[in-house]
Amino acid sequence: MANLPRWTHDEMARKVAQDIRDGAYVNLGIGLPTRVANHLPPGREIVLHSENGVLGMGPAPAPGCEDPELINAGKQAVTLLPGGSYFNSADSFAMMRGGHLDICVLGAFQVSVRGDLANWHTGAADAIPAVGGAMDLALGAKQVFVMMEHLTRSGTSKLVAQCSCPVTALACVARVYTDLAVIDVGADGLAVRDLVPGLAFEELLRLSGVPLAAPTR
């Protein structure tokens, strides 16, 4: 398994970024999805939303120029681009809950063949639960993209017939970007649209343990 060809996190982030159209309003979740911001194609105007009340979020400020009260959802200092705006938490979540965001990109523990998402709780009995905006984001954007490793550390597939971790939302995921493949979630199940070079589709199928339609090209 160690010898599998894999896309790096930056390569995954670049693939997500390439699929975000000019003019889109986008929320990037905490963790791996945050990296997408570094790969947004030049020439596209993409407005980043942060759940704590920002549209038009810019990159991290220069050292020494941080404003401790201008932060992103991960509590890191950010900047505001020209045209950006601030608003309260209810308005911020209305942007998700009202279906105004075009895309949100989230991390995940598991995604099911129906597009159910599990990303807020491992289900471990002693874990302190925390949900934040995960459940709102998963339902609120027109398209939900997931970025995750294809396999757990012990080698089991994170694409599953049914989530064993507590679900965040049902039938919400549109597309999954893993280190091995890009997979669309449709009414007929999962369909591979891109595969890491050097990996045979049959091998991906075996590793995934769920039905996958082969890429068309």
Residue 70 or 113: the one with the smaller Cβ distance to another protein is 70
> Distance of alpha carbon 115 from its chain centroid, rounded?
13
Q: For 2-46, what is the HEC assignment?
A: CCCCCCCHHHHHHHHHHCCCCCCEEEECCCHHHHHHHHCCCCCCC
Report the DSSP pairing between strands 25-28 and 103-107. Answer: parallel
d(C-alpha 122, C-alpha 135), whole Å? 15
State in angstroms the smallest separation of the CB of 171 from another protein. 9
Question: Residue 80, interface with another protein (CB under 8 A)?
Answer: yes
Number of residues binding to another protein, judged by CB under 8 A: 40
Q: Which is nearer to another protein, 51 or 179 (CB)?
A: 51
Residues 126-185 that bind another protein (CB under 8 A): 127-136, 139-140, 166-170
Place of tokens 């549109």: 174
Choose the catalytic residue: 11, 45, 51, 202.
Answer: 51
- Let me know if 45 is a catalytic residue: no
What is the spatial distance between Cα 171 and Cα 199, in angstroms, rounded to a whole number? 28
Least distance from another protein to the Cβ atom of residue 141, Å: 12
> Contact residues for another protein (CB under 8 A)?
50-54, 67-71, 75, 80, 86-90, 92-94, 96-97, 121, 127-136, 139-140, 166-170
Kindly list the catalytic residues.
51
